[in-house]
Chain A
Amino acid sequence: DAKTTQPNSMESNEEEPVHLPCNHSTISGTDYIHWYRQLPSQGPEYVIHGLTSNVNNRMASLAIAEDRKSSTLILHRATLRDAAVYYCILRDYGNKLVFGAGTILRVKS
């Protein structure tokens, strides 16, 4: 499984945008970039995924570098409920998810 590198933790102020980076320099052409998050005492939750183009959904936006070696998850206005561990995962279509340590996002009021 191709590896991703994320900061251990980040902090944000409530109502401000948050940019969560992920490096994946060994990504292969068929790897999708997936983001999941895990709120305290809950199971992981799907956030967004993409292949080459930037993606938007109701939860977040995913910006993918042109060379695909990095990506950024964007939460447009962080709320206290967005405090969670965010996982960036490379996944070939149909294969299992493999979780790393993720980024702990703290949101300050």
Chain B
Amino acid sequence: EPEVTQTPSHQVTQMGQEVILRCVPISNHLYFYWYRQILGQKVEFLVSFYNNEISEKSEIFDDQFSVERPDGSNFTLKIRSTKLEDSAMYFCASSDPGQGAQSDGYTFGSGTRLTVV
């Protein structure tokens, strides 16, 4: 079964440093997403991406966050200057609603655990 792959699985970074989280979505999917989950809390939407641009973003996704699809396969989330409160699991997901509502499910990756120290 096709998978969404995320790397690295764990990342520890110093406060103020930049991090890039990487994702390889399912190859024929057209919509890409980043979510995060702070330990013990809900899964929160960050951003959706379609046709090489952001289609929607949440209040969490402020100027320190950016996303990019640098080539035909990777989808990245960059956090410019990390803060302690950015520590969380970050999940990438992809979907292909173009196939119709019956196949309108997201496939999530296993996540990257980001720890900011």
Q: Hey, which bits of chain A sit against chain B, CB under 8 A?
A: 32, 34, 36, 38, 42-46, 49, 51, 87, 91, 93-94, 96-101
Contact of A43 among B44, B97, B105, B110 (CB under 8 A): B110
Number of cross-chain contacts by CB at 8 Å: 47
Size category, B interface: 20 to 34
> Are B43 and A38 touching (Cβ within 8 A)?
yes
In the complex, the chain B residue whose C-beta lies closest to that of A85 is B43
> Are B45 and A44 touching (Cβ within 8 A)?
no
In the complex, the chain A residue whose C-beta lies closest to that of B43 is A99
In the complex, the chain B residue whose C-beta lies closest to that of A47 is B105
Residues of B within 8 A of A42 (CB): 110-111
> Are B48 and A96 touching (Cβ within 8 A)?
yes
A to B CB contacts below 8 Å, 14 in the list: A32-B104, A43-B4, A44-B43, A44-B93, A44-B106, A46-B106, A51-B101, A91-B104, A93-B97, A94-B97, A94-B104, A96-B33, A99-B42, A99-B45
Residues of A within 8 A of B25 (CB): none
A58 to B113, CA, bound (A): 30
Q: A44-B91, A99-B42 are in contact. Are A93 and B110 (CB under 8 A)?
A: no
